Structure 1
Amino acid sequence: MKFLGSTFLVTISAVCGVWARTNFAGLTLSNSGNTGAYSCRTQDQWNAIARDTKNAGFGAIRILGFDCNSLDLASQAAANEGLQVMAGIYVDGTIASSIVQINNDVQTFRAAYGKYGAGRYLGLTVGNEVNDDPGNIMAKVYDVRGYLQSIGIFTPVSTVHTWVAIRSSPILCGADFVGANAHAFYDGGRQSFQAGDFVFKTVVPELKRVCPGKKVYITESGWPSRGGSFGAAIASTGDQRNALLNLNCACRDDTSVSVFAFEYDDQAWKSNDNERSFGVFGKYDLNGDVFAPC
């Protein structure tokens, strides 16, 4: 390789630099495009997302449901780019009211696992902030895990809840890993430049205290670019940039915790401007600006 000289070294340095600047483990995204009504993404759109995700240095994507054939489409796109997937079964309502859909989705995951392989999936989550008794949630998590293991699938299984719910109900720590959503914006007492400190100096120590020895995934953390303020937290594009920069640098300093940025693009179908505006692509240069300092 010596004969290639400095051109080869510069190329390698440039490629490594792009990856090194991104300290987030992954990126969470919706199954819908950024439209006024919830609308399913196409395979081409998933492929574009996967390319964007890889080019920005993320190693994984997280999906929150299997509607729109999204597990298969997202897995295919991820496979094309060498990304992993955190697969999420969505629970609408209680565990009991969603039992048929959950069981159907387990079979959907089984098929995807057979098609794309064990290495494609970081984990499987049953529910995202489910409004049900934690005991009911975890009973279904254990049921799903037991079934999958009985057929030779050992993908880690858990649920996702807010970090305060997990702190209040440590039973939610009981599966293969801890999945916690943690947004400094909704704490109300933090400004955007404190987003990373909030996650790693407030949230993570509490999760490690109540869930000792468990792998911790912060499955959502981000900042809105529009909408009303929440206490000291201001929603603006500049504040979103500052929050992501601070989170990215904080992720660099504690690699025992895997953080998923929230979220790929804005979601116009959601209920208010804060919720609609967490998208991070298309607002600034992630690699050249947000991730560059780290």
Structure 2
Amino acid sequence: MASMTGGQQMGRGSQTFYGINYGVNENSCPTVDSMKNDFNVLKPYTNRVRTFALSVCNQASLALAATQALGMRIYLGMWIDRPDTFDNEMNALKNILANNDVSNVDGLIVGSEVLYRGDTDPQSLANYIKQVKELVAPHGIKVATADVYYKFPEVVVKELDFLMMNAFPYWEGVTIDNAADTLMSHYDQVVGASLGKPVKISETGWPSAGGNFQSSVASVENENKYLHDVLCRVKQRNIDLLYFSAFDEPYRGGVEAHFGVLGSDRNTKPGITIEAGC
């Protein structure tokens, strides 16, 4: 767990971030207590987390219990890479709605980059979203999908309550000086395709180590600059941003292991100083 001193150095107040993405290693499932410890580490910086699946490691029920114990809010994700996983997630959702308090759920995200990966087609995704909306509407839960900025076809957008956009300028090979402008350009592109519905940034980040991608350099200095630049832009434009990600995740391997705001030891990364805005 990060020390209080490290947390106070890192951010000013509980809303440095609108929200932070929280990944789970399905080969080492967390407990409700380990989630509570993790979320307590994050509380100096945000009052909101996002998870990626319902049934895997029973993470949705655990995360609901952990966030509610700490007075935090949550976006729940459904992992739907195949028809059978959608069925599993729908069964988990029905169980969650029947047995859990969902009053702190800000939204349900049906799928993470499923169109980008080609896991399903737009019409099938639209049908999944429609089924989920019918199930959660009586509970007052809004529904989105999260995908890369150029994968929001109208057939899908029509079914959404709001849009969640992922964009990683690092993986586009841009220089750090152009990275925040690149993110904002992608955001504006999604707004143009949103049919007037709200658009949030569901994932963006920059790695502190692990190698370069074209003109994108992975370093602590560049992660720190990207954090500062992006937090400034979203504050200026009043954009809801869920940063990727909470902690370094060594199980991912390679550069993808180094996108955490905090290290895998839950302590502040040396050289990272986060301020809430400009």
Q: Are 1:245 and 2:228 an aligned pair? A: yes
Which residue number corresponds to residue 291 of structure 1? Answer: 275
How many angstroms does 1:285 deviate by? 7.0
> What is the CA–CA distance in structure 1 between the aligned matches of 2:154 and 2:168, rounded to whole Å?
20
Which residue number corresponds to residue 135 of structure 2? Answer: 147
Which residue number corresponds to residue 19 of structure 1? Answer: 13
Runs of 4+ in 1 over 4 A off after TM superposition: none
Q: Are 1:182 and 2:154 an aligned pair? A: no
Match among 155, 173, 176 for residue 157 of structure 2: 173
Cα–Cα, structure 1 residues 71 and 102, in superposed 2: closer, same or farther, change >3 Å? Answer: closer
**2:175 and 2:217 in contact (8 A); partners too:** no
Which residue number corresponds to residue 53 of structure 2? Answer: 65
Match among 172, 195, 199 for residue 216 of structure 1: 199
Identify unmatched segments of 5+ residues in structure 2: 1-7
Q: Are 1:236 and 2:219 an aligned pair? A: yes
Letter in 2 for 1:189: V
**2:64 and 2:102 in contact (8 A); partners too:** no
How many angstroms does 1:145 deviate by? 0.6
Supply the RMSD in Å over aligned alpha carbons.
2.3
How many angstroms does 1:64 deviate by? 0.2
> What is the CA–CA distance in structure 2 between the aligned matches of 1:139 and 1:154, rounded to whole Å?
20
How many angstroms does 1:290 deviate by? 1.7
> What is the CA–CA distance in structure 2 between the aligned matches of 1:292 and 1:160, rounded to whole Å?
24
Cα–Cα, structure 1 residues 21 and 29, in superposed 2: closer, same or farther, change >3 Å? Answer: closer
Match among 150, 170, 174 for residue 164 of structure 1: 150
Which residue number corresponds to residue 183 of structure 2? Answer: 199
How many angstroms does 1:293 deviate by? 6.3
Identify unmatched segments of 5+ residues in structure 1: 1-13
Of all paired residues, the percent bearing the same amino acid is 24
The secondary structure found in structure 1 opposite 2:221 is helix
Q: Deviations over 1:27-51 (max 9, x none)?
A: 001122xxxx831112222112211
**2:79 and 2:85 in contact (8 A); partners too:** no
**1:21 and 1:291 in contact (8 A); partners too:** no
Which residue number corresponds to residue 104 of structure 1? Answer: 91
**1:266 and 1:276 in contact (8 A); partners too:** yes
Letter in 2 for 1:183: F
How many angstroms does 1:268 deviate by? 1.6
> What is the CA–CA distance in structure 2 between the aligned matches of 1:178 and 1:49, rounded to whole Å?
27
The secondary structure found in structure 1 opposite 2:27 is coil
Q: Are 1:127 and 2:115 an aligned pair? A: no
Which residue number corresponds to residue 3 of structure 1? Answer: none
Structure 2 length-normalised TM: 0.85
Cα–Cα, structure 1 residues 109 and 177, in superposed 2: closer, same or farther, change >3 Å? Answer: farther
Q: Are 1:263 and 2:245 an aligned pair? A: yes
> What is the CA–CA distance in structure 2 between the aligned matches of 1:176 and 1:219, rounded to whole Å?
15
Letter in 2 for 1:46: M
Q: Are 1:31 and 2:24 an aligned pair? A: yes
Letter in 1 for 2:191: K
**2:14 and 2:47 in contact (8 A); partners too:** no
**1:124 and 1:156 in contact (8 A); partners too:** yes
Q: Deviations over 1:77-121 (max 9, x none)?
A: 2112221100001123x3x2434213212213313xx53242x00
**2:180 and 2:230 in contact (8 A); partners too:** yes
Q: Deviations over 1:17-70 (max 9, x none)?
A: 822771x310001122xxxx83111222211221122112x1210000121121
Q: Tell me the matched-pair count.
A: 259
> What is the CA–CA distance in structure 2 between the aligned matches of 1:144 and 1:223, rounded to whole Å?
32
Which residue number corresponds to residue 34 of structure 2? Answer: 45
How many angstroms does 1:212 deviate by? 3.1
